[in-house]
């Protein structure tokens, strides 16, 4: 666990940051699409803008959220491999 083996936990940090970026990017694009849809309903934004934002959010989700989920394994298991390296071999 993180509290007992900080080095093993840190070995998955790069993949964790990648996953966080994918998820945050998806969340921000989805939020933007929802706001554009609401603005279109209030006649504050042209419907084309709302459709485009929805397409962008969908594309991002299809292309990046699947790979983001696939990073969970490397995040949680990296320590078991990395910690077997001998420091003097570097």
**Is there a domain that residue 22 lies in?**
yes
Please write the tens of the pLDDT for every residue from 60-83.
999 999 999 999 999 988 888 888
**Is there a domain that residue 64 lies in?**
yes
Would you state the torsion angle of the CA atoms of residues 9, 1, 69, 52, taken in this order, to the nearest 10 degrees? Answer: -70
Specify the number of domains making up the chain: 1
**Is there a domain that residue 17 lies in?**
yes
Name which residue leads in pLDDT, 70 or 3.
Answer: 70
**Is there a domain that residue 30 lies in?**
yes
- For residue 20, the enclosing domain spans 6-84
Please write the tens of the pLDDT for every residue from 12-32.
899 999 999 999 999 999 999
Q: Do 5 and 79 form a contact (C-beta atoms < 8 A)?
A: yes
**Is there a domain that residue 1 lies in?**
no
């Amino acid at each position: 666990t993180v509290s007992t083996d900080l080095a093993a936990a840190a070995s998955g940090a790069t993949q964790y940051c990648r996953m966080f970026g994918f998820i945050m990017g998806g969340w921000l694009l989805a939020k933007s699409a929802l706001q554009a849809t609401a603005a279109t309903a209030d006649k504050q934004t042209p419907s084309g803008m709302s459709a485009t934002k929805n397409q962008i959010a969908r594309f991002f989700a299809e292309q990046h959220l699947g790979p983001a989920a696939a990073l969970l394994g490397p995040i949680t298991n990296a320590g078991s491999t990395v910690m077997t390296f001998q420091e003097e071999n570097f």
